[in-house]
Amino acid sequence: MADYNECKFEQELCEALAASGWRYSKNDDGYDQALALYPADALAWLSETQPDELGKLIKHSDSSAAQEKARTALMQRLAKSLDQPLAQGGGTLSVLRKGFKDGAAKFEMCQFKPADTLNSTTLDRYSKVRLRVMRQVHYSTKNRNSLDLVFFVNGLPVATLELKTDFTQNVEDAKIQYKKDRDPKGEPLLTFGHRALVHFAVSNEEVYMTTKLAGDSTYFLPFNKGDDGRAGNPINPEGSKTAYLWETVFQKDNWLQILGRFMHLSIENPIDPVTGEQSKRESLLFPRYHQWESVSKLIDSAKAEGPGHKYLIQHSAGSGKTNSIAWTAHQLSTLHGEDGKKVFDSVIVVTDRTILDDQLSSAIQQIDHKTGVVAAIDNKQGSKSTALADALSANKPIIVVTMQTFPFILGQIQESSAAKGKNFAIIADEAHSSQTGNTASTLKKVLSDEDWKSLQDGGEIDVEDLLAAEMANRADPGNISFFAYTATPKAKTMELFGRVGESGKPEPFHVYTMQQAIEEGFILDVLQNYTPYKLAFKLTHNGQDYDSEGLQVAQNAALKELMYWVRLHPTNIASKVSIIIEHFRENVAWRLDGKAKAMVVTGSRKEAVRYKLAFDNYIKQHGYADVKAMVAFSGEVEDLENSPAPFNEANMNPDLRGRKLAEAFKTEEFQVMLVANKFQTGFDQPLLASMYVDKKLSGVTAVQTLSRLNRTARGKDTTFVLDFVNDPNEILEAFEPYFRDARLSDVTDPNLVHDIANKLDHSGIYDQSEVEAVAKAFVEKRGNSKLSASLAQAKDRFWKKYEGAERANNRLELDRLDDFRKSLDAFTKTYDFLSQLYNYGDTDLEKKAIFCRLLAKEVRNTRRNEAIDLSSVELTKLGFKKNDTVSLNLTGDKAELKPLTDVGSGKPHDPLMASLREAIEKMNTLFDGEFTPGDYEVLVNAVTTKAAEDEKIKKQATSGNTLEQFLESPDLKTVLLTALLTSSDNLKAMGDEVLGDDQKLSRLVKIIGTVLHARMAS
């Protein structure tokens, strides 16, 4: 077993380093415990690279004793420089980068790899950097404790390592050893930042690291590669799973890159979210493995490929994206090609994270000793134009802009004289921001109708949609590279920014999965305590009964309005508020030392207003002093049933006292935030421990919304989701694609554009000469009148057909014309998207896109879907059933994002008829589920056919009779019974059941008659 012990492992590791150019000390001979230096290497470095400066202190004419004394004094001076406060330029990192002074001499202690290869002197100095690994270092002057390995750069210790072989111990033993037996007090080598910069706990299986030893409070971060999307490391057929550490990370170029281009000191004054105490915190930022790997690969690829390329980085929440973006931006801003020229004149970072400005500036000042590298362009319309022009003209290395400013920025760097002939890198931070002005209108091109409605109702911009919209507006630029960071890429983002991989489909450039982040403890799994509630209700409207099942699946606009009425009903909201507040007080409020918080996600701004009124009322009635809610929504909301004046955030949150909502929510004054779109995405509050969902969520929106809960905080190990609307299986399905790496099921067929164009061309609404005329007028900017005249014939032709179909009650023709409308939008959106992926080389398609976009505005549906009269609606029954709390277990297996499929071919739902699906649900309840939905659909069709043959029925339905009058017709019952008794066996069976039950027969007549009246009367 001797070959399997820790000693042998140490030897193998060190010999591998020696083979790659490291100097190897088998013991600690020559190590100075008091100074915590290896003086021989430090002096050799100075002698080889700066002999003239060294000669100022150590003269060749002096005696050996005098020279030795001078060397000792020099090393003491070096140690004293290292011992200076970190914020004042002391510590290993600062001395390696800036050097130190001794009298008249100034010394550089390291040469990092230069950005280009033009300076041979610099390259020669880089080749002389001394890397050393030393075994069994007795670091202490107080005892005989030793560290397994210490790593030096030019005699300065930069890292330590405790090694455990999994044959006898594991990585946890190494971590415990650091915590229990490596007390940094009084030990120069272990003092934070002043000698060793990072400490590794390593086994055959795993690697962890920390930059600060603090006894039992020491916090280790994983430094593992990840194993197929999971935590840990993959099997290495050639050796230990952790061999990448010494074979790759400690390779000279990589190791010095980390020390020279990644590590930096961060000084913060954080407020503990649990205790509320403010403190000063100095931390040394050392990249986690995925951060180092992703940034390094991006830089290498950008150098090899030059500008004009796209990179998609799928990094989960908890991945440290802010730091990754900062490192990427800085290294791109100094990147040089093989010809020695800068690859990018400026790097533009699109983000709403204000912390990034300061973080970038601080890091760059430490790494490059430069100020003024970062320029931030604010969103003030009057100043941004000048500020941007100045930044571009001055070749500012890094320009930080907001999402709202980005469309303006992109236009400037493609069109302004200040940017002519220059190359740019654009880094898009996954961020969300309130929609404004031109940004929102640009987004309309790429958003679904549902997403657009949400955005207009106070929703937030998704950077992926913004990028897609802007790229759809402009030709693919050859002077701009895009670097898109996101945790939840959409299918269109994958196709726009992904790179074709082994699957033959676009894939992310680099991935750090949600699964790995959860398993490594950087975020929480928010689906482990998921409690769905089922709403059951009944209401009447004009004598007709409706129930929850029918309305919740209704497609008809009028019936949707009834469902919205139910959602806003005071009884409904008050019932949910009661459940929410009592659950919060019993299960959540006491957590995190009584500082846990919750979010309530409502379906609309008006619902948010009524939730706040109900919340305040319930708290007042029950005398609760431990729960207080704020509400967040955009603009103003009119709700005359509750106030003659409109509601807004200011008058609904009187206790804000000028504070921003997010800042006020951090305090102990507020425990619950009620939201309508706002703060639903991109909001980071670690104390959020529970979410109450009263809004339909799907796809990436579900993931982004529930992920507000996943942030970690001290003592936070449990989250709760109570859902009043969504199916747990659908929520699980939404999360699955993002648990591992996002994958496309297929790529969008480029021929979709041709298919929709062909369908439009055969509509009979326009001819090619009209397309040509409209496109010419648009391109030549002939003015509004000329453009309107060019569209007039197609517009007139459409409306004549439409009005004729309405007069003739031609449902088939009306459906066809509604489908034409949809196809116009479908063509433009599909063409805008696919033309970024494929070069069609077809000017006719571009002309048709102009024509369709303009014609769509002229043939909008403005007359159908009339509002339903809600004055006679009554809620007769309402209740909630709590289902079992479940753990929705993610696997990531076979979960794929769907690309664009055949679009523009859907049929519009008839807004003048009651939902067939609703009628089927009612019949299913009437017959206690004895028959199938197919049977009920056959019944509706059979009755419709019989009624169409009956002149009396036709006259009663089409002569202006109301629904109530029509339902009273005895002829209706006769037609229904005839259909039941003269058709299939199942219909006869239904007839037999209702013949002996007048009440059941009356209900069936009402259900079928409602459908029949809507069909025949419209």
Give CA–CA dist 140/757, Å, rounded.
79
Q: What pTM was computed for the model?
A: 0.78
Give CA–CA dist 709/599, Å, rounded.
9
User: What is the model's pLDDT at position 464?
Assistant: 53
Residue 57 main-chain phi, psi, to 5 deg: -110, -35
Containing 673, the helix (H) or strand (E) segment is strand 672-675
User: What is the model's pLDDT at position 551?
Assistant: 57
User: What is the model's pLDDT at position 73?
Assistant: 96
CB 711 within 8 A of CB 686: yes
How is residue 349 written in tokens? 């970072």
User: What is the model's pLDDT at position 921?
Assistant: 65
Tokens 């982004």 belong to 704
CB 709 within 8 A of CB 739: no
User: What is the model's pLDDT at position 821?
Assistant: 86
Through-space distance between the first and last CA atoms of the chain, rounded to whole angstroms: 89
Count CB neighbours of 128 within 10 A: 12
Count CB neighbours of 659 within 10 A: 14
* Helices first, then strands: H and E counts in the chain: 40, 30
User: What is the model's pLDDT at position 152?
Assistant: 98
User: What is the model's pLDDT at position 480?
Assistant: 87
Angle subtended at Cα 916 by Cα 910 and Cα 920, rounded to the nearest 5 degrees: 175
Q: Which residue blocks in 56-190 are alpha helix, DSSP H?
A: 64-82, 92-98, 120-127, 171-181
User: What is the model's pLDDT at position 1008?
Assistant: 80
User: What is the model's pLDDT at position 907?
Assistant: 40
Best CA proximity match to 93, nearest among 236, 231, 211, 253: 211
Best CA proximity match to 408, nearest among 378, 429, 434: 378
Count CB neighbours of 904 within 10 A: 21
Q: Report which DSSP code applies to 457.
A: T
CB 278 within 8 A of CB 270: yes
Containing 725, the helix (H) or strand (E) segment is none
Kindly give the pairing relationship between strand 310-315 and strand 346-350. Answer: unpaired
Q: Report which DSSP code applies to 595.
A: T
Give CA–CA dist 756/823, Å, rounded.
7
Question: Side by side, which strands form the sheet with 156-164?
Answer: 23-25, 131-138, 146-153, 156-164, 198-203, 207-210, 221-222
User: What is the model's pLDDT at position 242?
Assistant: 96
Coil, helix or strand at residue 694: strand
User: What is the model's pLDDT at position 849?
Assistant: 87
Low-confidence ranges of the chain (pLDDT < 50): 1-2, 381-382, 431-448, 452, 474, 864-866, 904-915
User: What is the model's pLDDT at position 385?
Assistant: 63
Best CA proximity match to 857, nearest among 760, 789, 788: 788
Q: Is the dihedral of CA 111, 115, 117, 120 positive or negative?
A: negative
CB 919 within 8 A of CB 936: yes
| Rg over CA atoms, the chain | 35
- Our measurement of the distance from residue 845's CA atom to the centroid of its chain's CA atoms, rounded to an integer in Å, reads 33
Instruction: From residue 395, give the alpha-carbon distance in Å to each of 362, 372, 392, 806.
Output: 20, 11, 5, 62
Best CA proximity match to 262, nearest among 327, 210, 200: 327
Is 141 buried (19+), middle (13-18) or exposed (0-12) by CB count in 10 A?
exposed
Question: Per-residue pLDDT tens for 59-70?
Answer: 888 889 999 999
User: What is the model's pLDDT at position 437?
Assistant: 37
CB 798 within 8 A of CB 861: no
- Residue type present at position 821: R
Residue 751 main-chain phi, psi, to 5 deg: -75, -5
Is 455 buried (19+), middle (13-18) or exposed (0-12) by CB count in 10 A?
buried
